Structure 1
Amino acid sequence: MVTQTDHGGIANKLADFACSVRSDPSRIPKDVRTHALQRLLDNFGCITFGRRVKPAHCVAELVSSMGKGNCRLIGSESRTSPTAAALAHGTLAQSFELNDLGVYVHPGACIVPACLAGLDMTERRISGMDFVAAMVVGYEVTVRLSECVGPSPELDIGWHTPPFHGAVGAAASAAMLMGLDRDGSAQAMVIAADLAGGGLMLARLGSDIKRVHCGRGAETGVLAALMAQQGLRSRLDTFEHPDWGYCRTMTASASGFNLDAIQHGLGEEFVGFRRTAMKYYPVGAEVIGVIDAISEIKKTQQFSIADIEEVVVGTPAFFVKAQGHEFPETDAQIHFNTEYGAAMALIHDIRPVYEDPGILKYWLNGYGRADVKALAGRIRHVVDEELDRHNPYGIDSSVKIVLRDGTVMENQTDYVRNADSAGTMQFAVMTEEKVVRKFRALTEESLKHAQQETLISTVLGLATVPDSRTMWNAYDAALAIHI
């Protein structure tokens, strides 16, 4: 559904929202501030761990020589340009599929790197609450834009949304911290929309470059804010133009998007964190459902791998289409393969990363095991008609395990009960305690315990400090990160 707006209405409304939150961060509800700090800690953990993922590490090393600037790189003593730092941090955050997820967009891996670059670009003092406000706005813009055009049309067309919606949200965040006014903020967002882009095929079927998509979203957002700061202009009706606008292009339709999803409750109802979730397995969202369903069966049923005749995994049709079902040949394919995920969940006593950091190693190495490959050959991924009819892009999964003696064991996730919109990513909720444990798991090979605790307390207490650079001070004290 397309609703009418005045010329440039969407960009200006988003800019008004960003500027109003920057001028009065106290309007952000306390629970939203708390969630923002938890997401910040979670992204720091993902970025730090990303140095151990070879393709992401290569990108991080590459960008250290891509430009001059004063922007820091986590895990390095190098300084680089704002865009290069954003590219590196976004890539590192996305590298092992443990970063947060929204309506088929990864907001944190785009927004947090843009905020870090924005912090390093400005000489004025940025309070902890200013930093939190920029994060909140970036998440809000990204998630609302994603809900406007999805989750269906853009996925079917083949867009991978982090370098699109995430770029616009990153531009909003960077513009806030750089001190851009209403007009500059609006221009930053429409320029980011003009520059955005990323394809879904290799993101789903396996490619090292998938890991770079969030980095590109962050980089594009920062670049757009810098362009706007220098006076470059784009059309303010970029989002809603009926023929060539962003939403029209994303959906390949004049009526397949809903501008009200951006505007309704903007500034009054904060949905950016409520409609996104943090991951606890290193997989795509739909594979989380498969693992959770299998884990529940294993809690109550006793059987061996040799007993299994076949396993049938059911999801909406999109996820059957959106995966390469051949057994993984590289580590780029291990995150989005249902057969691999189900086989690993059956063979291992699989637990969330905040309970068992060992998953970070055995998930990476499983595709080289003959027993995993053999079991994957007995797993079928099919369309679950009921799930497909109820929510064709939902992440709930059904699992049926058939044993050789005829015993049938079944389970199905029911995440949709916790969702307040069709695209809400709301698998099992992570409490702050679990977020902290996940951070420790992701950084245990890079930081000593005392260094971890300093960073945890600094990040979670950021909203009360007068200068956000205390984060960097804490990292400087800890970095001993030479991975």
Structure 2
Amino acid sequence: MPELDYTAQLARFVHQSRWHDLPTAVQREGVRALVNWVCCTYAGASHPSVQSALATLEGLSSDSTCTVMGCDRRLDPLGAALVNGLSASAHAFDDAHLQTVAHPGAPTLAALLAHAEQYAVSGPDFLHALVLSYEVQCRLSCALAAPPAHCDLGRYMTGVTGAVGVAAGVGKLMGLSEQQLAWAMGLGAVQASGLRVSHGTMACAFIPGDAGRNGLLAARLAANGFTCHENALAANHGLLPVLGDPANPEMLTDRLGQHWETMNVSLKPFPSGCLTHAVIDACLALVRQYHFPSDEIVRIDLQVHRLALELTGRQEPQHSYDAQASLQHWAAAVLHYRRASLSEASEDSVHDPAVISLRQRVQATVSDELESDEARLWVTLRDGRRLEASAMPCIGSPRRPMSDADLQAKFLDLTAPVIGPARASLLSEYCWSVSSAIDVARAAPGFWGQLR
């Protein structure tokens, strides 16, 4: 019998995978991913980009089956998947596969929840589909962007690989055959999109939302016999050969089921691009150790990874969208305000004269010795002192992940201002206990789902 092609191997893995065979740590990470997504989605629900998208889709929605998180509104499944994915990404506070700068959480959870509000899905099945979606996305992202693979940095990886992983996850919930799963992933692949030119605009958060919608659509099409090339990921003119320069398709199946790339997805401790986090963490370490007014700073020197400077080196951000991916802004804002919250990502922070002045004193250089989750910082003061701090690695990276306590604090910080402390605490209990849910749509009454 000939060896299965790459897409077929992934389809067989997804089809044959069982929740009870997953390592305990991987199962737990699925729960943490849900907790993180819910709080990010609530925090993003009032964002102008979300409100604009919601106003648009309400005029196009065919029914009101699914919850729009954080809003007293409902949309059809595809619309809800898009808007909830957009909400989760709006503040760049979601998650990241640091090596490839992919963000699997926003598209995955938005699509899975939309499906679960239509069809009964148990907690373990929901979390299993989540993990499989993450695994497919991250492996495909590695096949495109992790050395020795290479692709154009202008590709926004979540838009390229997100729909493929979501199609696999939703397809698993639907009980698709191996053939149908291959079609579903292929249909996700032919919708690959996403350009980094979107950074600094509302379109940046649209891309993960669109990936969730596209993946949900791909799985539903495949379930109804809509075909695609059986090896759309790796065949000639398929996703990897077209976008890779070169690609490394072996990453799709290397130690499949033994090594879990899902565990390299980091939950974000700061509302910004993941490549700014090492700088933020180093700045926080400095202000915790030393006390000085920010107007005494005459120079800020940063050493960062090459990708950090290339993708987030924005000396003069013009607005909050720019600031999400500006290491200069975050260095200045943290050194001035001595914290790194949503407030420091706001328009007020971007246009604060003190922050603007500090940004102009930031000098950032590349160090080949540093990993993408590392940074060094030196601050020179008017009195001649030169203060030093570093993040080696930063909080939130796979080598130093957020603890459950850190994640719970983030959850309450983001949800309490929206729904109040008591309801935020109740919602967190629902999320942490989702693995025992008989029906996910009924697992958080008053927050999502409806009685069927």
TM-score, normalisation: structure 1: 0.86
Q: Using the alignment, how far apart are the partners of 2:287 and 2:417 within structure 1? A: 30
1:277 and 2:271 aligned: no
* Count, aligned residues: 445
Distance 1:403 1:169, change over 3 A: same
> CA shift at 1:476, angstroms?
5.1
User: 1:421 matched to which residue of 2?
Assistant: none
1:332 and 2:310 aligned: no
Which amino acid in the other structure matches residue 301 of structure 2? V
User: 1:354 matched to which residue of 2?
Assistant: none
Quick one: percent identity of the two aligned structures?
23
Q: Using the alignment, how far apart are the partners of 2:130 and 2:176 within structure 1? A: 16
Aligned partner (choices 104, 108, 112) of residue 107 of structure 1: 104
Q: Using the alignment, how far apart are the partners of 1:213 and 1:154 within structure 2? A: 21
What is the SS of the residue equivalent to 1:415?
Answer: coil
> CA shift at 1:472, angstroms?
4.6
Which amino acid in the other structure matches residue 398 of structure 1? R
1:228 and 2:210 aligned: no
> CA shift at 1:301, angstroms?
3.0
Q: Are 2:285 and 2:390, in contact at CA under 8 Å, matched by a contact in 1?
A: no
Q: Are 1:59 and 1:88, in contact at CA under 8 Å, matched by a contact in 2?
A: yes
Which amino acid in the other structure matches residue 67 of structure 1? S
User: 1:214 matched to which residue of 2?
Assistant: 208
- Write the mapping of 1:36-435 to structure 2, written as runs, cut at 5 A: 36-69=30-63, 70-102=65-97, 103-122=100-119, 125-151=120-146, 156-203=152-199, 206-241=200-235, 243-251=236-244, 253=245, 256-272=246-262, 274-323=263-312, 325-350=314-339, 359-364=341-346, 365-387=348-370, 391=371, 394-415=372-393, 425-426=397-398, 428-435=400-407
1:449 and 2:421 aligned: yes
Computed over aligned residues only, the root mean square deviation of the Cα atoms, in angstroms, reads 2.4
Which amino acid in the other structure matches residue 105 of structure 1? A
What is the SS of the residue equivalent to 2:303?
Answer: strand
Q: Using the alignment, how far apart are the partners of 2:133 and 2:195 within structure 1? A: 22
Aligned partner (choices 10, 17, 21) of residue 14 of structure 1: 10
Q: Are 2:96 and 2:265, in contact at CA under 8 Å, matched by a contact in 1?
A: yes
Q: What are the superposed Cα offsets for residues 97-138 of structure 1, whole Å, 9 maximum, x if unpaired?
A: 11011131001011101111221343xx31111111111111
Q: Using the alignment, how far apart are the partners of 1:326 and 1:301 within structure 2? A: 25
Which amino acid in the other structure matches residue 101 of structure 2? Y
Q: What are the superposed Cα offsets for residues 163-189 of structure 1, whole Å, 9 maximum, x if unpaired?
A: 111111111111122232221111110
Which amino acid in the other structure matches residue 380 of structure 2? V
Q: Are 2:276 and 2:308, in contact at CA under 8 Å, matched by a contact in 1?
A: no
Q: Using the alignment, how far apart are the partners of 1:475 and 1:289 within structure 2? A: 34
Which amino acid in the other structure matches residue 234 of structure 2? E
> CA shift at 1:16, angstroms?
1.4
Which amino acid in the other structure matches residue 131 of structure 1? F
> CA shift at 1:8, angstroms?
6.1
User: 2:411 matched to which residue of 1?
Assistant: 439
Q: List runs of 5+ in structure 1 lacking aligned partners.
A: 352-358, 419-423, 479-483
Q: List runs of 5+ in structure 2 lacking aligned partners.
A: none
> CA shift at 1:156, angstroms?
3.5
> CA shift at 1:56, angstroms?
2.2
What is the SS of the residue equivalent to 2:299?
Answer: strand
Q: Using the alignment, how far apart are the partners of 1:442 and 1:448 within structure 2? A: 10
Q: Using the alignment, how far apart are the partners of 2:427 and 2:2 within structure 1? A: 46
Q: Are 2:67 and 2:449, in contact at CA under 8 Å, matched by a contact in 1?
A: no
Distance 1:437 1:61, change over 3 A: farther
Which amino acid in the other structure matches residue 370 of structure 1? P
What is the SS of the residue equivalent to 1:401?
Answer: strand
Q: What are the superposed Cα offsets for residues 142-171 of structure 1, whole Å, 9 maximum, x if unpaired?
A: 111111211466564410011111111111
Q: Are 1:141 and 1:172, in contact at CA under 8 Å, matched by a contact in 2?
A: yes
Distance 1:333 1:128, change over 3 A: same
Distance 1:380 1:156, change over 3 A: farther
What is the SS of the residue equivalent to 1:101?
Answer: strand
Q: Using the alignment, how far apart are the partners of 1:61 and 1:381 within structure 2? A: 41
> CA shift at 1:63, angstroms?
2.2
Q: Are 1:64 and 1:78, in contact at CA under 8 Å, matched by a contact in 2?
A: no
Q: Using the alignment, how far apart are the partners of 2:2 and 2:107 within structure 1? A: 29
Q: Using the alignment, how far apart are the partners of 2:399 and 2:296 within structure 1? A: 30
> CA shift at 1:428, angstroms?
3.8
Q: Using the alignment, how far apart are the partners of 1:411 and 1:434 within structure 2? A: 22
Distance 1:437 1:155, change over 3 A: farther
Q: Using the alignment, how far apart are the partners of 1:275 and 1:250 within structure 2? A: 23
Q: Are 1:163 and 1:218, in contact at CA under 8 Å, matched by a contact in 2?
A: no
Q: Are 1:458 and 1:470, in contact at CA under 8 Å, matched by a contact in 2?
A: no
Q: What are the superposed Cα offsets for residues 375-429 of structure 1, whole Å, 9 maximum, x if unpaired?
A: 1111112222433xxx5xx23222121223433222332229x9xxxxx942642
Distance 1:217 1:401, change over 3 A: same
Q: Are 1:57 and 1:92, in contact at CA under 8 Å, matched by a contact in 2?
A: no
1:471 and 2:451 aligned: no
Distance 1:77 1:406, change over 3 A: closer
What is the SS of the residue equivalent to 1:327?
Answer: coil
Distance 1:324 1:6, change over 3 A: farther
User: 1:31 matched to which residue of 2?
Assistant: 25
Q: Are 2:275 and 2:307, in contact at CA under 8 Å, matched by a contact in 1?
A: no
Q: Are 2:7 and 2:234, in contact at CA under 8 Å, matched by a contact in 1?
A: no
Q: What are the superposed Cα offsets for residues 237-277 of structure 1, whole Å, 9 maximum, x if unpaired?
A: 22112x412112222x3xx22222221222233330x2011
Q: Using the alignment, how far apart are the partners of 1:7 and 1:226 within structure 2? A: 28
Which amino acid in the other structure matches residue 397 of structure 1? A
Distance 1:476 1:297, change over 3 A: closer
Q: What are the superposed Cα offsets for residues 33-92 of structure 1, whole Å, 9 maximum, x if unpaired?
A: 221111101101111111122112321332233221422222334332222111111100
TM-score, normalisation: structure 2: 0.92
